[in-house]
Amino acid sequence: MTDKFIKNEQFNFIKKQIAIIKDTAKKNVPPSILAAEIDLANAKIMDLIPNSSLEQQEILDLSRLKTDEEYEQFIDRIASFLLPFPKITEQQLKKMFPKNKKLKLPDLANIDHNKLTYLSWNDLRSNKKFIVYEVDGKMVGIECKFTPTNKKNICSICNSLSEIAYFSTIVKTKKTKNPDYYKSIGNLICSDSGECNKNITNGEYLTAVIKESLGM
């Protein structure tokens, strides 16, 4: 039996490729164009998981699928290979935010760890947002200022149009000797990180912002 090997963001990416194929198929394009679209999607999916085994490549191969039903079955099947977000305890979370003595913790028992790229929760009383993500094999967390906008825009993390909030976080830069030097970085992100986790197709932005913030 093959071990679980697909990350949530990769699963979302594959689903997006399938949506593109289905969309093209509906437009009654010539068969050669549809075949090229499927080839392209397959190539992108194969590139998604570096050093994948032959068995994994076979699981991910969608080139023989034809009907909507087959695509649905394919998605259900690859969902069984989803790598869950690592189990994390409240104790570990507290250690990630040692300066926050009144840390509000997420309801870990009620979070679906199977479809999670990053863990995030808000403390609306203090307008804070917490983000926990694995960077370079290590679970790390950042604390952000969080300002809801009640507007729709493109989220920096998942690149989807959604209700967004403005977040900013302090950079502890190593580039200067001045201990009082602080820089703030910020951007627009989904207000609802549950929705964001359904749309995220890669962790590049998250990695970059966390590395910059923590000086990694």
Which CB sits closer to Zn ion, 25 or 157?
157
In the complex, least distance from residue 197 CB atom to Zn ion, rounded to whole angstroms: 8
Which CB sits closer to Zn ion, 193 or 213?
193
Which CB sits closer to Zn ion, 59 or 164?
164
CB atoms inside a 10 Å sphere around CB 72: 12
Q: How far is CA 193 from CA 107, 119, 169, 179, 186, in A?
A: 14, 8, 17, 33, 16
Question: Rule CB under 5 A: which residues touch Zn ion?
Answer: 155, 157-158, 190, 196
Which CB sits closer to Zn ion, 17 or 199?
199
In the complex, least distance from residue 108 CB atom to Zn ion, rounded to whole angstroms: 21
In the complex, least distance from residue 164 CB atom to Zn ion, rounded to whole angstroms: 8
Which CB sits closer to Zn ion, 59 or 200?
200
In the complex, least distance from residue 205 CB atom to Zn ion, rounded to whole angstroms: 9
In the complex, least distance from residue 130 CB atom to Zn ion, rounded to whole angstroms: 16
All residues at 6 or more sequence positions from 150 whose CB lies less than 8 Å from its CB, including other chains: 163
Residue 216, SS3? coil
Spatial distance between the Cα atoms of 216 and 213, rounded to a whole number of angstroms: 8
Cβ atoms 190, 155 nearer than 8 A: yes
Which CB sits closer to Zn ion, 196 or 210?
196
Query: What are the tokens at 176?
Result: 């200067």
In the complex, least distance from residue 54 CB atom to Zn ion, rounded to whole angstroms: 34
Query: What are the tokens at 88?
Result: 């994390």
